[in-house]
Amino acid sequence: MDLKALQNGSDIRGIAVEHEGKTANLTPAQVGKIAVGMVHWLRDEKNLADKHQSGQLKIGIGHDSRISADSLKQALIDSFFEQNVEVLDFGLATTPAMFMATQFPQYDCDAAIMITASHLPYYFNGLKLFTKSGGAEKADIAFILEHADEPALVAKGSVTKYSILEDYSADLTDKIRKGMKTAEEKPLSGFHIIVDAGNGAGGFFAEKVLAKLGADITGSQFLEPDGMFPNHIPNPDNKEAMASIQQAVLKNKADLGVIFDTDVDRSAVVDASGEVINRNNLIAVLATIVLAEYPGSSIVTNSPTSSHLKEFIESKGGKQVRYISGYRNVINKMIELNDEGIDTQLAIETSGHAAFKENYYLDDGAYVIAKILMLLPTLKKEGSTLGDLISSLKQPAETQELRFEILDSHVRDYGEQVIRDLSGFVLSQRGMKVDPENHEGIRVNVYDEYGRGWFLLRMSLHEPLLVLQVENDQAGMNQKVLDELALFFEGYKQLDLTKLYEILKK
């Protein structure tokens, strides 16, 4: 099997458990080979073994709650052991905690691996890889997979078990107290905060962080790890998941609800009034926090953000940089801007991936919540809520997302041609104008007979799809925009337009 097919941008992902006729392609055998490629990368490309007198690498391994985690972890351990690697087996962990295994001096790992497939269904799994300098890039994963079949160093290593979540939680609570400017042991006393971990790896946050800081966590749900995800998909970008935490907050009359994805690199919240704060709203909250601390700084987002968000960030004295979708892309853009001397403190996608310059440029869902927790005592004194922070953020009347499968064998070429042709189509239309501040696909502002809004057509990062997002401030006008776009799309026979036609028939 071609291991290169397992590359998912800067991660490795595949089917780890056979499901409804889908054959597993990320098996222990495959992972054992990938471990060989990882060692080649760490030794030959990163030269990390050179810093040790023994020439022995130290690699930490953790995993989320998926049912395939143990077998894939053992495959990594077995392969690394035979390649003279010192393995630290951290067991149940989170993606941000595994990065911290390269930073905490008590572990000092040369590299760390998180076994996770984020929010994907239970039968998927994957690998995320970190060194002290950050997450692996797309080119790094390509190198690893290309070198997986090469000869491996043969020398025995070692394996030791640790639990990193205790140390990670203690570090986080210290940072929260510091952010609150208090030495008080329980600064969240009097606050009722609910956690929904979705049976992923985030359940630790309730007892090990919130309760330690004095919060009442009564009503927290789905904290126990269960790789079948029996209650809902652990995904802050999922409507069912967000409805679940929203109901829990209102039922328990909590001050705040917190929800994580499976491996805790994404999060979202619900405030005391039941308002869901994710996507554009979460970006607005974090932008408000960042711009109060670092006035005038830039904030990198992915491309499908509301036009109102740009106005909101500018009203706070900041600048939004809309960039290419993909969490590594927005993080790398933040790093690039800072290297150019442009103060950029936050990179965030609408999916909830958010990284702060002050926190190793790491997309850490728990740190996002930590930044919000730091605000709570002040908000309580003022008698306001998180929702009040973003009350000036205008909300669109309607939003829609449609995905069109590209049936042509040359997926990217065909999709990019459609995007180029759409640019010409827009030039011939009244009430449509291409937005020049865009790095991905084509973003078009609409006005007059199409209401007031925008649409974005872009290639999907990892699937053979064109993604169309449409937003309008006038109810009913998305339909008019889609009617017009349907005239354009009907000339492209290699697009599956079923969803578009279903909407237009309604």
Q: Note the pLDDT tens digit of each residue in 384-410.
A: 889 999 999 999 999 999 999 999 999
Give me the residues paired with residue 455 across strands: 444, 470
Q: What average pLDDT does the segment 240-250 reach?
A: 97
At 123-142, the pLDDT tens digits run 999 999 999 999 999 999 99
Q: Any residues with CB less than 8 A from the CB of 208 and at least 6 apart, and which?
A: 165, 166, 169
Nearest to 201 by CA among 111, 117, 279: 117
Q: For the chain, what is the mean pLDDT?
A: 96
Share of the chain above pLDDT 90, in %: 96
In degrees and rounded to multiples of 5, residue 346 shows phi and psi of: -145, 135
Report the distance separating Cα 193 and Cα 173, nearest Å: 15
At 182-217, the pLDDT tens digits run 999 999 999 999 999 999 999 999 999 999 999 999
Band of residue 222 on the pLDDT scale cut at 50, 70, 90 = very high
What is residue 379's predicted lDDT score, i.e. its pLDDT? 93
What is residue 172's predicted lDDT score, i.e. its pLDDT? 98
Domain 164-275 class in CATH: alpha beta
Higher pLDDT pick, 237 / 70 = 70
Domain segments of the chain as ranges: 3-162, 164-275, 278-363, 398-504
| Rg for the chain, CA atoms, rounded | 23
Report the distance separating Cα 34 and Cα 147, nearest Å: 8
Q: What average pLDDT does the segment 292-297 reach?
A: 98
Report the distance separating Cα 276 and Cα 419, nearest Å: 33
Q: Which residue has the tokens 């309730």?
A: 206
pTM, to two decimals: 0.94
Residue 1 pLDDT > 80, yes or no? Answer: no
Residue 505 pLDDT > 90, yes or no? Answer: no
Burial class (CB in 10 A: 0-12, 13-18, 19+), 429: middle
Q: Any residues with CB less than 8 A from the CB of 451 and at least 6 apart, and which?
A: 472, 473, 474, 476, 477, 480, 481
Residue 2 pLDDT > 90, yes or no? Answer: no
Q: Which two structure tokens, joined as six digits, stand for 120? A: 């994907």
Residue 506 pLDDT > 80, yes or no? Answer: no
Report the distance separating Cα 52 and Cα 49, nearest Å: 6
Q: Does domain 278-363 have CATH number 3.40.120.10?
A: yes
**DSSP class of residue 153?**
P
Report the distance separating Cα 135 and Cα 132, nearest Å: 8
Q: Is the distance from CB of 270 to CB of 245 less than 8 angstroms?
A: yes
H/E element, 233: none
CATH code of domain 398-504: 3.30.310.50
C-alpha separations of 147 from 126, 142, 390 in Å = 18, 9, 49
Domain 3-162 class in CATH: alpha beta
Higher pLDDT pick, 211 / 505 = 211
278-363 shares the fold of 3-162: yes
In degrees and rounded to multiples of 5, residue 63 shows phi and psi of: -155, 160
What is residue 462's predicted lDDT score, i.e. its pLDDT? 80
What is residue 348's predicted lDDT score, i.e. its pLDDT? 98
**DSSP class of residue 218?**
T
Neighbours of 263 (CB within 10 A): 30
Give residue 21's region: left, alpha or beta (phi > 0; psi -120 to 50). left
> What would the 3-class secondary structure string for 477-502 be?
HHHHHHHHHHHHHCCCCCEECHHHHH
Q: Which two structure tokens, joined as six digits, stand for 398? A: 């309607």
Q: Is the distance from CB of 386 to CB of 283 less than 8 angstroms?
A: no
At 88-97, the pLDDT tens digits run 999 999 999 9
Residue type, 256: L
Residue 153 pLDDT > 90, yes or no? Answer: no
Q: % helix / strand / coil in the chain, to the nearest 5?
A: 40, 25, 40
**HSE-up (13 A, CA, CB side) for residue 407:** 7
**DSSP class of residue 452?**
S
Q: How many helices (H) and strands (E) does the chain have?
A: 16, 23
Q: Any residues with CB less than 8 A from the CB of 362 and at least 6 apart, and which?
A: 96, 99, 134, 135, 355, 356
At 310-358, the pLDDT tens digits run 999 999 999 999 999 999 999 999 999 999 999 999 999 999 999 999 9
Band of residue 51 on the pLDDT scale cut at 50, 70, 90 = confident
What is residue 53's predicted lDDT score, i.e. its pLDDT? 85
Share of the chain above pLDDT 70, in %: 100
